[in-house]
Amino acid sequence: MRAIVVDRWMEASELTVREAPEPVVGAGQLGVDVHSAGCNFFDILIVQGKYQVKPPFPFIPGGEIAGVVREVGAGVKGFAVGDRVLAAAPMGGYAERIAIPASFAHRMPDAMSFDEGAGFPIVYPTSYAGLVYRAALQPGETLLVHAAAGGVGLAAVQIGRALGARVLATAGGADKCAIAREAGAEAAIDYNAEDFVERVKELTGGRGADVIYDPVGGDVFDKSLKCIAWNGRLLVVGFAGGTIPSVAANRILLKNIAVTGLHWGAYAKNEPQRVPETFAALFRLYEEKKIHPVVYRGYPLEEAAAALAALGSRKTHGKVVLNP
């Protein structure tokens, strides 16, 4: 089986295709032919040994897949050979085949392509859970989405619009701002060219944004506190900017705001009932054509290094995928 195999800590630029053992499909698992695998920034950190999870060598990276069921393990109900599925996988997506717990898999809507499916199982549930369960976004409220042309950012723009919010966005460059507007943002602010704080205040008549979706951290988090509305919710989704911020509690008190976190991966352990509920809601929105994964480009497996380089350079938008 062809796969990207990591046998030491390395740079993403060193990744190459090697032969790997066929995955063994155990009880409670599905064997899946991987048609598309989603690329994520954490994949770069994992192969470098800089992620909080350090898998034992050798391992195959890749945490999102879409493909076709080729084998159903003992005790699995509800799936059959030939089903089109998507899944968030603990590891192993950068390969021709994978074995995953059946509980991680979801049948794809008929109209969804494999590339779209590979761009779905992490970013869309992350954005939905953040906006619905944690920030309680309401119709008519103003949502500000940072890094709005990235994977989770575009998902948040689309979901926010579908939930009836007025969506504002920040992105780096005119092209990415255009992508955010196409996804549903009423206005997109190029943070390379202007101060988003003043622009958000201008667009909201000085009130600020009710909910701010922040996957960046660092200075973006600090500045967001200056343009958040009374009773606003600042949603901490990640730290793509590389710096984990701190906040003085008096700033939370003065505007009556909440700073709330979102860790989608922990729902499977702590609130497992939320997982099928979330995917059911998202698939309904997809079928109603209110959300749709945006795929920047699909790369062959042999070009995994180039795919991650494009992602790491922040020159991409939406999702980067591999096609094993």
Q: For 143-179, write each residue's pLDDT tens digit.
A: 999 999 999 999 999 999 999 999 999 999 999 999 9
Residue 299's H or E segment, with its range, is strand 295-300
Domains, the chain, in order of start with CATH, read: 2-120+293-323 (3.90.180.10), 123-265 (3.40.50.720)
Please state, in angstroms and rounded to a whole number, the distance separating the CA atoms of residues 96 and 226. 48
Pick from 86, 209, 58, 231: nearest CA to 140: 209
pLDDT for the residue numbered 315: 81
DSSP-derived 3-state class of residue 189: strand
Q: pLDDT tens-digit profile of 215-258?
A: 999 999 999 999 999 999 999 998 888 889 999 999 999 999 99
- The angle that helices 304-312 and 41-48 make with each other, rounded to 10 degrees, is 110
C-alpha angle 45-244-266 in degrees, rounded to nearest 5: 65
Please state, in angstroms and rounded to a whole number, the distance separating the CA atoms of residues 19 and 243. 37
Please state, in angstroms and rounded to a whole number, the distance separating the CA atoms of residues 85 and 24. 18
Please state, in angstroms and rounded to a whole number, the distance separating the CA atoms of residues 255 and 46. 38
Q: Which residues make Cβ contacts (< 8 Å) with residue 234, sequence separation at least 6?
A: 212, 214, 221, 224, 225, 228, 257, 258, 259, 260
pLDDT for the residue numbered 235: 98
Stretches where the chain sits below pLDDT 70 are none
pLDDT for the residue numbered 105: 97
pLDDT for the residue numbered 19: 96
pLDDT for the residue numbered 259: 97
- Cis bond leading into 293, ω under 30°? no
Q: What share of the chain is helix, strand, coil (3-state, %, to 5)?
A: 35, 25, 40
Taking a C-beta distance cutoff of 8 angstroms, is the pair 322, 302 a contact?
no
pTM as predicted? 0.94
C-alpha angle 137-140-145 in degrees, rounded to nearest 5: 55
